[in-house]
């Protein structure tokens, strides 16, 4: 059992045994990390999962608390029937038999290597396989610059901690942005500033002003299928970001975690426009296969390689998982599964738009016109009580994620929204769920 799951199991056990009672405040992220002998990011992921399953809840600027038990806890004993919150892949479409075949083949092929600790940079044959795999995404790099990590989160944490050329320490992040990473940066006390991003894109003039300040070691961005917006930067924006990085000597940490799920055939990442070796490219394999695989790939510019290797330090990614992924990619199964899941998710996103057209006749919800991947932002009227809305939807068996957690503390220019994810929502559930959301927004806004 991986540490993340072990921590969740232990927390739930302590709740059942009465160590944490309904209404009790849980230990701070840092205190919990020390207690469970794990990283801050593991606790953040554990708390996020417990919050998603309604075991705990969070209060901004305060902490995490145990949910109280009630007699009437909603449908099916409080179980969510329409999951519009989870970012994990659909369990019903995972090719179990295919991947089991890859695991068996990997054991047979690498049976002697599996008894070694392996290379901290990743399985050599997988890294060579990733050269051609990444080239499909217009990321051209030699195997020597590709490092296999325990998911993208590990790569992001290393980049946040390690020193960069020039001695700059501050990190620039999009707002709203990836919530777990934002909480990690704050928990570690790392200097971080936000720049606004909307469904319409980013203000390039403001971005240039930020870069020109000389404060930032890197700009963390999700150019494609942004979490939580669901939108992507235009080719002009991606090219401009790469140009500004070279002009002002700011590195770009490009998180292309949704690369496999897009419908656009000619999407070139920021990396493809990089003429000055300032882009760090990261790709995850969790969103298309399963989160427990915990494998990612990072392509590093030459000046950062040695420092990144030193901070990574040791082998912490399963050799068996790496070997199985290599087999899965090389025999064509990965490409086949990618095609199937991409088409399914695109169909679900389209169903959300069609449901909005049918039910959002008063225009109470503002949704971007080009969301893709698995996420969509529902912007709400300012009169809606976000916490109450989420609670009412939960009582109706619909789980969504409130938008207030996607900002760094103190960031003022915030939108009121909920994030919709279609990765685990049944196609036949989407219309009724969107209709219910609009009903509750009307109810909460006094329409």
Q: Residue 124's domain is classified under what CATH number?
A: 3.40.640.10
Is 143 in the same domain as 272?
A: yes
pLDDT surpasses 90 at 165: yes
pLDDT surpasses 60 at 242: yes
- pLDDT category at 313 given cuts 50, 70, 90 is confident
Whether 401 is covered by a domain: the verdict is no
Mean pLDDT over 20-49 rounds to 87
Count of domains observed in the chain: 2
Is 128 in the same domain as 217?
A: yes
pLDDT surpasses 50 at 270: yes
Is 65 in the same domain as 145?
A: no
How many whole angstroms separate alpha carbon 157 and alpha carbon 125?
Answer: 25
Whether 416 is covered by a domain: the verdict is no
Assess contact for 296 and 155: CB atoms under 8 A. Answer: yes
Whether 434 is covered by a domain: the verdict is no
The reply to whether omega before 314 is within 30° of 0 (cis) is no
- pLDDT category at 286 given cuts 50, 70, 90 is confident
Is 173 in the same domain as 262?
A: yes
Where does a domain end: 18, 44, 69?
69
Where does a domain end: 69, 101, 122?
69
Mean pLDDT over 68-96 rounds to 65
Is 292 in the same domain as 171?
A: yes
Is 53 in the same domain as 165?
A: no
Where does a domain end: 13, 44, 69?
69
Q: Which of these, 369, 427, 428, 375, lies nearest to 400 by C-alpha position? A: 375
How many whole angstroms separate alpha carbon 372 and alpha carbon 226?
Answer: 9
How many whole angstroms separate alpha carbon 218 and alpha carbon 195?
Answer: 13
Assess contact for 149 and 296: CB atoms under 8 A. Answer: yes
Q: Is the pTM of this model over 0.75?
A: yes
Q: Is 420 helix (H, G, I), strand (E, B) or coil?
A: strand
Is 15 in the same domain as 164?
A: no
pLDDT at 71: 41
Is 120 in the same domain as 4?
A: no
Whether 210 is covered by a domain: the verdict is yes
- Dihedral angle at the C-alpha atoms of 11, 12, 16, 21, nearest 10 degrees? 60
Whether 94 is covered by a domain: the verdict is no
Assess contact for 177 and 165: CB atoms under 8 A. Answer: no
Identify the H or E element spanning 63.
Answer: strand 63-66
pLDDT at 73: 40
Is 175 in the same domain as 241?
A: yes
pLDDT surpasses 70 at 61: no
Q: Which of these, 288, 239, 222, lies nearest to 260 by C-alpha position? A: 288
Here the CATH number for the domain that contains residue 1 is: 1.10.10.10
How high is the mean pLDDT of the chain?
A: 88
What token pair was written down for 277? 């070796």
Whether 302 is covered by a domain: the verdict is yes
The phi and psi torsions of 186 (rounded to 5 degrees) equal -70, -40
**Count of CB atoms within 10 A of residue 91's CB?**
11
- pLDDT category at 291 given cuts 50, 70, 90 is low
Whether 178 is covered by a domain: the verdict is yes
Is 21 in the same domain as 142?
A: no
Mean pLDDT over 331-339 rounds to 87
Is 36 in the same domain as 118?
A: no
Mean pLDDT over 331-338 rounds to 88
Whether 430 is covered by a domain: the verdict is no
Crossing angle (nearest 10°) for helices 204-212 and 235-248: 10
DSSP state of 76: G
Q: Is 104 helix (H, G, I), strand (E, B) or coil?
A: helix
Crossing angle (nearest 10°) for helices 319-330 and 124-135: 40
Structural domain span for residue 147: 111-331
């Amino acid at each position: 059992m991986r540490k993340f799951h072990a921590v969740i199991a232990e927390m739930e056990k302590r709740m059942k045994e009465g160590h944490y009672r309904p209404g009790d405040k849980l230990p701070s992220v840092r205190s919990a990390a020390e207690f469970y002998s794990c990283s801050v990011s593991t606790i953040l992921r554990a708390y996020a999962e417990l919050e998603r399953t309604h075991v705990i809840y969070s209060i901004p600027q305060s902490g995490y608390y145990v949910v109280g038990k009630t007699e009437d806890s909603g449908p099916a004993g409080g179980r969510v029937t329409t999951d519009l919150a989870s970012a994990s892949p659909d369990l019903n479409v995972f090719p179990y038999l295919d991947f089991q075949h890859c695991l068996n083949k990997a054991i047979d092929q690498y049976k002697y290597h599996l008894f070694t600790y392996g290379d901290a940079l990743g399985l050599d044959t997988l890294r060579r396989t990733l050269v051609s795999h990444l080239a499909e995404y217009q990321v051209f790099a030699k195997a020597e610059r590709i490092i296999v990590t325990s998911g993208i989160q590990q790569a992001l944490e290393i980049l946040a901690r390690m020193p960069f050329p020039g001695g700059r320490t501050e990190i620039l992040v999009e707002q709203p942005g990836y919530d777990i990473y934002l909480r990690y940066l704050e928990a570690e006390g790392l200097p971080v500033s936000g720049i606004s991003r909307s469904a319409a894109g980013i203000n390039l003039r403001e971005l240039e002003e930020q870069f020109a300040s000389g404060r930032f070691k890197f700009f963390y961005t999700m150019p494609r299928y942004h979490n939580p917006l669901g939108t992507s930067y235009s080719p002009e924006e991606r090219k401009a970001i790469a140009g500004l990085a070279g002009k002002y000597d700011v590195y770009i940490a490009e998180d292309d975690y949704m690369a496999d799920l897009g419908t656009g055939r000619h999407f070139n990442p920021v990396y493809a426009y990089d003429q000055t070796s300032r882009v760090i490219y990261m790709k995850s394999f969790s969103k298309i296969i399963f989160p427990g695989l915990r494998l990612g790939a990072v392509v590093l510019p030459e000046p950062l390689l040695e420092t990144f290797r030193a901070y990574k330090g040791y082998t912490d990614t399963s050799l068996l998982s790496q070997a199985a992924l290599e087999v899965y990619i090389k025999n064509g199964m990965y490409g086949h599964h990618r095609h199937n899941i991409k088409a399914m998710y695109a169909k679900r996103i389209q169903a959300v738009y069609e449901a909005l057209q049918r039910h959002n006749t008063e225009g109470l919800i503002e949704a971007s016109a080009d969301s893709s991947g698995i996420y969509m932002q529902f912007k709400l009227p300012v009169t809606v009580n976000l916490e109450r809305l989420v609670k009412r939807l939960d009582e109706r068996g619909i789980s969504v994620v409130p938008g207030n957690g996607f900002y760094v503390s103190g960031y003022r220019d915030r939108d009121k929204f909920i994030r919709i994810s279609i990765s685990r929502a049944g196609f036949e559930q989407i219309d009724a769920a969107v209709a219910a959301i609009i009903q509750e927004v009307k109810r909460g806004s006094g329409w």
